[in-house]
């Protein structure tokens, strides 16, 4: 089957390569000529495990091609996926949908026969109907372009797996579940190889529900993370351990342990902007009260970054002036080079502004971090970052940081203080090696009878 994919970022490039892997003939489309050039050579312009292999395989086989030419795309296929970005609007909470609108406005007049435009981007509810209006306005007479929605749930770092073996496929059609149309036929055909090899539930619904499914899923995940981080603040005040607490409540299958990882909180190109866009859209629809709790979810999340900075200041004896802090991690999560709204880089920036000599290392995100925050210090390895450091702060839970040898770090570092922003490090091992280990949400209880509980990880066990 032939299809195009508009947008070649984390979502679009992955979708295009995975559709080729499923046996389809795919044309990836982007306005960025330089990016398309690299993709044509079989190079992925960002870090995503497993993607370079399938991309190169299908560029070589000829099943996956790339272009900047919309006319070529219009001619190539009748099924067009749209996976361009919907970032937060500057100075507002709402999502900026101009990129999806541009694709529809530019593609529609070039169509010479009926076609289906399948939105995959995360959009405010009501966008698909608006895009249908744009398509209707631009198409030639006698041509019909139907806009449908098929939200994408892939996680960076697992994008290939999530696309090829999804938990569920959600399809939003204007006529809902009852609709029988070219759109339904083509979308079914596109996903048929997945359903034949490794079936998953398919939910066919109306457009509004399909749009809301995606933002609701992300809002729920964000809320779950902020819930445990709010509890973690109480743990710090009470001298309790949030990681043990999360294990215990997570054993209840109604709760589940996933996304109860307390620490620096969520970042990236999706969760933060999606909860803000959800609030903004709910407000536009007159349902703002329903989503005001997301403000608190956002605040709890941002507070974790400040708390991490405070903890570092305390660990440095009250001031960061003259201190060197090694920040291990710049990506918003491991297995990614994405630094958009990264808690790690945000903390590194705040430490630097407070006067610390801040040296950052990340296994994949150094180039992106340097471009966003050129004034920070950067190192080429974890040990180099720790060289001369008074404090070592783990801000992204890359496996190579978890596996660091405390003795090797001690040979290069000036201080012996490890701050764990992700509750990922083997604290006991580091303590046994002579380090002071402190972590968010793990106030250490003071000895029996000694009065008030300890505050956030301030007491060395």
Which residues does the annotation mark as catalytic? Answer: 270
Q: How far apart are CB 37 and ligand UDX at their closest, in Å?
A: 26
Residue of this chain nearest to ligand UDX (CB atom):
261
DSSP readout, 279-303?
A: HHHHHHTT-HHHHTHHHHHHHHHHH
CB of 316 to ligand UDX, least distance (A): 25
Distances (CA, A) of 4 to 74, 207, 210, 295: 9, 21, 21, 38
Closer Cβ to ligand UDX, 99 or 153, answer by number: 153
The residue among 24 and 304 lying less far from ligand UDX, judged by its C-beta, is 304
Element (H, E) at 118: strand 115-119
| Nearer to ligand UDX among residue 441 and residue 457 (C-beta) | 441
Beta bridge partners of 419: 393, 438
Pick between residue 259 and residue 293 the one whose CB is nearest to ligand UDX: 259
Q: Which residues lie near ligand UDX (CB under 6 A)?
A: 152-156, 218, 221, 225, 259-261, 263, 265-268, 270-271, 332-333
Q: Which residue has the tokens 């996903």?
A: 191
Q: Which is nearer to ligand UDX, 132 or 243 (CB)?
A: 243
Q: Toward ligand UDX, which CB reaches closer, 124 or 263?
A: 263
| Smallest separation, CB 376 to ligand UDX (Å) | 19
Sign of the C-alpha dihedral computed for residues 381, 382, 388 and 391 taken in this order: positive
Taking the least distance from each CB to ligand UDX, the nearer of 153 and 293 is 153
Query: In this structure, what DSSP letter does residue 51 have?
Result: H
Smallest distance, ligand UDX to C-beta of residue 360, A: 16
Contact status, residue 434 vs residue 410, Cβ threshold 8 Å: yes
Q: What CA–CA distance (Å, rounded) separates 309 from 305?
A: 6
We find the least distance from the C-beta atom of residue 335 to ligand UDX, in angstroms, to be 9
Q: How many residues does the chain have?
A: 461
Nearer to ligand UDX, 57 or 257 (CB): 257
Question: What HEC string does 361-382 produce?
Answer: ECCCCHHHHHHHCCCCEECCCH
Q: Residue 258, CB half-sphere, CA atoms under 13 Å: how many? A: 4
Smallest distance, Å, CB 262 to ligand UDX?
A: 7
Quote the strand ranges of 36-103, DSSP E.
64-67, 79-82
Tokens of 324: 């060197």
Report which secondary-structure segment, H or E, holds 420: strand 417-420
Judge whether 201 and 172 are in contact, CB under 8 Å: no
Taking the C-alpha atoms of residue 89 and residue 154, their distance in angstroms, rounded to an integer, is: 23
DSSP string, 147-189: EEE----PPTTSHHHHHHS-S-EEEEETTGGG--SHHHHHHHH
Radius of gyration of the chain (CA): 24
In which element (H, E) is residue 55 found? Answer: helix 51-61
Cα–Cα distance measured from residue 112 to residue 144, given in angstroms and rounded to the nearest whole number: 9
- Min separation Cβ 268 and ligand UDX, Å: 4
Judge whether 116 and 145 are in contact, CB under 8 Å: yes
Please say whether the beta carbons of 431 and 368 come within 8 A: no
Nearer to ligand UDX, 243 or 357 (CB): 243
Measured between alpha carbons, how far is 348 from 173 in angstroms, rounded to an integer? Answer: 45
């Amino acid at each position: 089957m032939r299809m195009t994919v508009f947008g070649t970022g984390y979502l679009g490039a992955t979708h295009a390569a995975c559709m080729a892997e499923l046996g389809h003939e795919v044309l990836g489309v982007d306005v960025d000529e330089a990016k398309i050039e690299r993709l044509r050579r079989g190079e992925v312009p960002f870090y995503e495990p497993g993607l370079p292999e399938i991309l190169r395989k299908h560029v070589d086989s000829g099943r996956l091609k790339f272009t900047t030419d919309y006319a070529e795309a219009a001619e190539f296929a009748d099924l067009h996926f749209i996976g361009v970005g919907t970032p937060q609007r500057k100075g507002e909470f709402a999502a900026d949908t101009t990129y999806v609108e541009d694709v529809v406005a530019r593609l529609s007049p070039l169509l010479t026969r009926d076609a289906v435009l399948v939105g995959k981007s995360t959009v405010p509810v009501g966008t698909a109907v608006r895009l249908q209006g744009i398509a209707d306005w631009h198409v030639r007479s006698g041509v019909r372009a139907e806009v449908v929605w098929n939200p994408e749930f892939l996680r960076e770092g697992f994008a290939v797996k999530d696309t090829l073996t999804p938990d569920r496929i959600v399809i939003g059609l204007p006529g809902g579940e009852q609709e029988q149309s070219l759109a339904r036929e083509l979308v079914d055909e596109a996903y048929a190889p997945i359903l034949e090899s490794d079936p998953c539930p398919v939910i066919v619904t109306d457009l509004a529900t399909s749009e809301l499914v995606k933002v609701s899923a992300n809002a729920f995940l964000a809320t779950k993370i902020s819930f445990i981080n709010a509890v973690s603040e109480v743990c710090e005040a009470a001298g309790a351990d949030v990681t043990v607490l999360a294990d215990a409540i997570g054993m209840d299958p109604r709760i589940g342990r996933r996304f109860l990882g307390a620490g620096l909180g969520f970042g990236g190109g999706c969760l933060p902007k999606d909860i803000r866009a959800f609030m903004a859209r709910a407000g536009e629809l007159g349902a703002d009260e329903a989503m005001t709790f997301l403000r608190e979810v956002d605040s709890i999340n941002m507070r974790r970054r400040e708390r991490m900075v405070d903890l570092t200041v305390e660990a440095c004896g009250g001031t960061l002036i003259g201190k060197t802090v090694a920040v291990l991690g710049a990506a918003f999560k491991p297995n990614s080079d994405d630094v958009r709204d990264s808690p790690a880089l945000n903390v590194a920036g705040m430490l630097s502004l407070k006067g610390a000599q801040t040296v950052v290392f990340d296994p994949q995100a150094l180039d992106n971090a340097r471009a966003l925050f050129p004034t920070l210090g950067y190192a080429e390895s974890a040990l180099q970052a720790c060289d001369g450091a008074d404090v070592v702060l783990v801000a992204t839970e890359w496996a190579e940081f978890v596996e660091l040898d405390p003795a090797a770090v001690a040979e290069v570092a000036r201080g012996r203080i490890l701050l764990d922003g992700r509750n990922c490090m083997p604290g006991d091992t580091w303590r046994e090696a002579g380090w002071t280990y402190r972590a968010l949400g793990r106030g250490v209880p003071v000895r029996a009878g000694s009065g008030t509980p300890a505050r956030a990880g301030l007491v060395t066990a």
